């Protein structure tokens, strides 16, 4: 019997050799921050998230052989992130900042409600993390936010600051001339041509958009609002739209990377400059957020400079 147990244990270790080795490696301490240990496993979590986030946003799948320099950069960023997060959590503990588990669960449920169960699982898969890890990151984020608010609670923005920003950034509040635009997006040129023919016969544009367009704007009859030179639209579409006169419809389909468009122009809109009264609330929020970010960044960097950090990588 003892002999059989020994063989069984060897088989189990053989089957899970990689996992056993990884667990030991994950527990290796790679840094200390004011005496708090950071393990290889913690670092690996941050690095995996940064790598996945980079791939999602850039569309570039990182190759271990070809992207060594990029991987090194991401590893350095992940290491710095885990150091800073440790410092922030230590400071929050000193300030007696706590986040109830119920608050974390509430946000987790919000993720699930928005994405649905399957979508939530896909979301975790894309990030390369488990549900428990996500809960940990939600808590860290809430602690970070609470500490930021505590450190910056006394910041106020004066009317003089708002006025000065408005006067120094005139282009931000000048709306160039534009034109009201609606469109119908279809897959083929033939479909678009048929729609143009129907419109010439007197068909209702909004009705055709609701029935045939593949753009979410179909719910509003194809309405895209006001288009001008600063609009973030593909060039082919924007150029065709801005050539139209009021109440004119494109005579031929307009091709873009999304398919074929039938574009209708509405009223032309003159250039306008928003008054200080119209934008002062937005400016106030912007300046307040900027001031809070600047103070909090300097606060955390000061904590980092004073921290005792030992890099054991």
Please identify every stretch of the chain with a pLDDT value under 70, giving residue numbers as ranges.
Answer: 1-24
Summary mean pLDDT of the chain:
90
pLDDT (0 to 100) of residue 25: 75
Is there a contact between 254 and 214 (Cβ–Cβ < 8 Å)?
Answer: no
What is 2-154+302-311's CATH number?
1.10.4030.10
Place of tokens 């004011």: 34
pLDDT score of 125: 84
Q: Where are the beta strands (DSSP E) in 34-73?
A: 36-39
Helix/strand/coil (H, E, C) string of 183-247?
A: EEEECCHHHHHHHHHHHHCCCCHHHHHHHHCCCHHHHHCCEEEEEECCCCCCHHHHHHHHHCCCC
Query: In whole angstroms, what is the distance from residue 81 CA to residue 217 CA?
Result: 40
Instruction: Judge whether 291 and 211 are in contact, CB under 8 Å.
Output: no
The maximal CA–CA distance of the chain, rounded, in angstroms, is 92
| Residue entry with tokens 């669960």 | 105
Q: What is the reported pLDDT for 59?
A: 85
pLDDT score, position 15? 34
What residue ranges do the domains of the chain occupy? 2-154+302-311, 177-270
Residue 24: predicted pLDDT: 65
Decide: 292 and 284 in contact? Cβ < 8 Å.
no
Output the pLDDT for position 214.
Answer: 96
Q: Is 186 exposed, middle or buried (0-12, 13-18, 19+ CB in 10 A)?
A: buried
- CATH class of the domain defined by 177-270: alpha beta
Residues making up the chain, counted from first to last? 313
Q: What are the b/e assignments for 57-84, b being 16+ CB within 10 Å? A: eeeeeeeeeebeeebeebbeebbeebbb
Kindly give the interhelix angle for 205-212 and 189-200, rounded to the nearest 10 degrees.
Answer: 150
Mind listing the pLDDT tens digit for each residue in 132-191?
989 999 999 999 999 999 999 999 999 999 999 999 999 899 989 999 999 999 999 999
Residue 92 near residue 143, CB atoms below 8 Å: yes
Q: Which residues pair with 260 in a beta bridge?
A: 186, 255
Going 205 to 210 to 214 to 218, the CA torsion angle's sign is positive
Contact status, residue 244 vs residue 268, Cβ threshold 8 Å: no
pLDDT digits (tens, 9 = 90+) for 295-306: 999 999 999 999
């Amino acid at each position: 019997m003892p002999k059989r147990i020994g063989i069984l244990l060897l088989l189990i270790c053989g089957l899970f050799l990689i996992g056993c080795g990884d667990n030991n490696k994950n527990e290796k301490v790679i840094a200390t921050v004011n005496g708090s240990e950071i393990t290889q496993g913690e670092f690996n979590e941050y690095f995996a998230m940064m790598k996945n986030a980079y791939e999602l946003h850039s569309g570039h799948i990182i190759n271990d052989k070809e992207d060594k320099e990029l991987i090194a950069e991401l590893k350095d960023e992940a290491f710095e992130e885990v150091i800073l997060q440790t410092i922030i959590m230590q400071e929050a503990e000193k300030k007696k900042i706590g986040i109830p588990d119920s608050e974390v669960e509430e946000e987790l449920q919000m993720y699930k409600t928005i994405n649905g169960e399957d979508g939530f699982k896909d979301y975790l898969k894309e990030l390369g993390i488990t549900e428990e890890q996500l809960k940990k990151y939600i808590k860290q984020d809430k602690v970070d936010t609470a500490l930021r608010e505590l450190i910056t609670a006394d910041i106020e923005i004066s009317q003089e600051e708002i006025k000065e920003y408005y006067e120094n950034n005139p282009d931000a509040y000048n709306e160039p001339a534009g034109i009201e635009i609606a469109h119908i997006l279809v897959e083929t040129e033939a479909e678009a041509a048929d729609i143009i023919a129907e419109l010439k016969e007197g068909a209702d544009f909004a009705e055709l958009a609701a029935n045939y367009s593949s753009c979410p704007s179909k719910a509003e009859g194809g309405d895209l609002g006001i288009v001008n030179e600063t609009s973030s639209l593909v060039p082919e579409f924007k150029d065709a739209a801005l050539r139209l006169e009021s109440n004119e419809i494109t005579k031929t389909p307009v091709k873009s990377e999304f398919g074929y468009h039938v574009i209708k122009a509405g009223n032309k809109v003159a250039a306008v400059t928003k008054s200080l009264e119209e934008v002062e609330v937005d400016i106030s929020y912007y300046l307040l957020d900027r001031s809070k970010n600047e103070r909090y960044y300097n606060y955390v960097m000061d904590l980092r400079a004073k921290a005792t950090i030992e890099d054991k990588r």
